[in-house]
């Protein structure tokens, strides 16, 4: 029978717990256990680490490795059976929950022309980033939006939504990003199926862009009190143009190159209260410096190829690959091309960090700001 020890987390530092097990203490600890209690000093150093130690690990999922199996789902299950045909990404460090990193979920969804999932709503905030195919659409609270590659669309907390592909479209694959794990962790997850299974489209197609996509303009007299962006859809072409214009006048960030946040035009704030999203451009040959932040990130390469060094590990990526950066791990990015730019889409929980006053950021000071890469 293995000996249970209680003093595994001792630290010989003033101000930290440093109590060795004795027979008397072990008896005491056992008695406390029977009372639904414990001695804080046996776990204090564990639960109050000097700095965050994420249980998530950096990982990459390459599109070419997954695409075949994603498509295979088309033959294996119907949307009616499966609800949605999605292959989710599982972080090796988070065996306890279905999460790609931190409390963020990511999956690859596939759909055939003519299919449309049933409508539902939930507490989780969700987004889609289109990977391939033509004819995809998403409906949100009566607004239908048509979607092409690298378009980004929201299906926020509490909105009725459904996805489909037009009859004359092609097989479509997109990344789904959600904060399902956070909603469960916070014991706040509700789910409803639409009473009619399919919602009515009550507005002109893509009307949210006609109202809210103006540059520095908003429809007058249209109050917007909801906590997510009324724009709902962010198209790739104007996003890429905006990055290009920005690159023409600024060096951007030393850590992220030319980087822009997708925002709620009614507030200038994040697109949803619990998930933010960002697009960044690495110019030809650009290599950024390392920093670390409180917050978890799911990246998808939207254009080009390159690599990122995360916590000392190098991950090479190209279009449609997905990789994750856990909280408080150093990360830096490089564009592998000296002639083409590379673009990275990401979504993250920085709005949570900011809402709760927990955001911190730190640059790597040593080694010219670059991490040594572990072999």
Site for a second copy in 122-161 (CB under 8 A): 122-124, 157
Binding span for a second copy by CB under 8 A among 165-173, 231-239, 302-310, 363-371: 231-239
Comparing CB distances to a second copy, the nearer of 362 and 372 is 362
Query: Using the rule CB under 8 A, which residue among 4, 8, 40, 373 binds a second copy?
Result: 40
In angstroms, give the least distance from the CB of 213 to a second copy.
Answer: 4
Query: Using the rule CB under 8 A, which residue among 138, 139, 199, 280 binds a second copy?
Result: 280
Task: Write the Ramachandran bin of 106: left for phi over 0, alpha for psi from -120 to 50, otherwise beta.
Answer: beta
Binding span for a second copy by CB under 8 A among 133-141, 166-174, 208-216, 308-316: 208-216
Task: Give, rounded to a whole angstrom, the gap between the first and last alpha carbons of the chain.
Answer: 39
User: Per rule CB under 8 A, is residue 59 in the interface with a second copy?
Assistant: yes
Bridge partners of 307?
Answer: 316, 334
Provide DSSP, 222-267: ----SSS-TT-EE-HHHHHHHHHHHHHH---BTTTBEEEEEB-TTT
Comparing CB distances to a second copy, the nearer of 88 and 340 is 88
In angstroms, give the least distance from the CB of 116 to a second copy.
Answer: 12
User: Per rule CB under 8 A, is residue 64 in the interface with a second copy?
Assistant: no
Comparing CB distances to a second copy, the nearer of 227 and 331 is 227
Query: Using the rule CB under 8 A, which residue among 146, 189, 318, 337 binds a second copy?
Result: 189
296 touches 324 (CB < 8 A):
yes
Query: Using the rule CB under 8 A, which residue among 4, 8, 200, 355 binds a second copy?
Result: 355
User: Per rule CB under 8 A, is residue 83 in the interface with a second copy?
Assistant: yes
Site for a second copy in 297-316 (CB under 8 A): none
User: What Å distances lie between residue 293 and 95, 144, 290, 311, CA to CA?
Assistant: 23, 36, 10, 12
User: Per rule CB under 8 A, is residue 89 in the interface with a second copy?
Assistant: yes
Query: Using the rule CB under 8 A, which residue among 183, 290, 301, 344 binds a second copy?
Result: 183
Return the ∠ at Cα 359 (arms to 320 and 101), rounded to 5°.
35
Number of residues lying near a second copy (CB under 8 A) = 141
Exposure class string for 284-298: b at 16+ Cβ within 10 A, else e? eebbbbbbbbbbbbb
User: Per rule CB under 8 A, is residue 23 in the interface with a second copy?
Assistant: no
Our measurement of the distance from residue 280's CA atom to the centroid of its chain's CA atoms, rounded to an integer in Å, reads 15
Query: Using the rule CB under 8 A, which residue among 260, 314, 337, 340 binds a second copy?
Result: 260
User: Per rule CB under 8 A, is residue 26 in the interface with a second copy?
Assistant: no
Do β-strands 305-310 and 331-335 pair in parallel, antiparallel, or remain unpaired?
antiparallel
Exposure class string for 82-105: b at 16+ Cβ within 10 A, else e? eebbbbebbbeebeeebbbbbbbb
In this structure, what token pair is assigned to residue 169? 């479209």
Provide DSSP, 176-191: EEE-HHHHHHTT---E
Query: Using the rule CB under 8 A, which residue among 153, 171, 266, 334 binds a second copy?
Result: 266
User: Per rule CB under 8 A, is residue 76 in the interface with a second copy?
Assistant: yes
In angstroms, give the least distance from the CB of 108 to a second copy.
Answer: 8
Site for a second copy in 108-127 (CB under 8 A): 118-120, 122-124
């Amino acid at each position: 029978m293995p000996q249970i020890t209680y003093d595994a987390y001792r630290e010989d530092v003033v101000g930290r717990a440093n109590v060795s097990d004795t027979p008397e203490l072990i008896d005491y600890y056992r008695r406390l256990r029977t009372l639904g209690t414990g001695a804080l000093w046996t776990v204090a150093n564990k639960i109050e680490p000097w700095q965050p130690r994420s249980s998530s690990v950096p990982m990459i999922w390459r599109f070419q490795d997954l695409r075949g199996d994603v498509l295979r789902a088309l033959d294996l299950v119907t949307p009616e059976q499966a609800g949605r045909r999605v292959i989710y990404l599982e972080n090796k460090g988070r065996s306890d929950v279905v999460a790609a990193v931190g409390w963020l979920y990511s999956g690859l969804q596939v759909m055939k022309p003519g299919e449309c999932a049933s409508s539902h709503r939930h507490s989780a905030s969700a987004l889609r980033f289109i990977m391939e195919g033509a004819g995809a659409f998403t409906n949100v609270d009566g607004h239908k939006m048509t979607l092409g590659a690298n378009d980004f669309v929201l299906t926020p907390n509490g909105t009725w939504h459904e996805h489909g592909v037009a009859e004359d479209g092609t097989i479509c694959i997109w990344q789904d990003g959600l904060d399902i794990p956070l909603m469960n962790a916070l014991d706040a997850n509700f789910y409803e199926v639409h009473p009619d299974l399919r919602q009515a489209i009550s507005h002109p197609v893509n009307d949210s862009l006609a109202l809210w996509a103006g540059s520095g303009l908003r429809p007058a007299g249209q109050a917007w009190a909801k906590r997510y962006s009324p724009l709902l859809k962010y198209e790739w072409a104007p996003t890429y143009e905006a990055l290009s214009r920005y690159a023409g006048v600024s060096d951007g960030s030393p850590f992220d190159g030319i980087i822009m946040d997708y925002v709620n035009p009614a507030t200038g704030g994040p697109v949803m209260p619990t998930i933010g999203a960002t697009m960044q451009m690495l110019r030809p040959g650009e290599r950024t410096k390392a920093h670390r932040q409180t917050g978890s990130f799911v990246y998808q390469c939207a254009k080009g190829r390159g690599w990122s060094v995360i916590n000392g590990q190098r991950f090479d990526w190209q279009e449609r690959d997905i990789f994750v950066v856990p909280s408080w791990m150093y990360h830096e990015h490089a564009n592998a091309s000296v002639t083409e730019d590379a673009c990275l889409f990401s979504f993250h929980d920085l709005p949570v960090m900011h809402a709760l006053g927990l955001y911190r950021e730190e640059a790597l000071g040593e080694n010219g700001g670059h991490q040594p890469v572990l072999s």
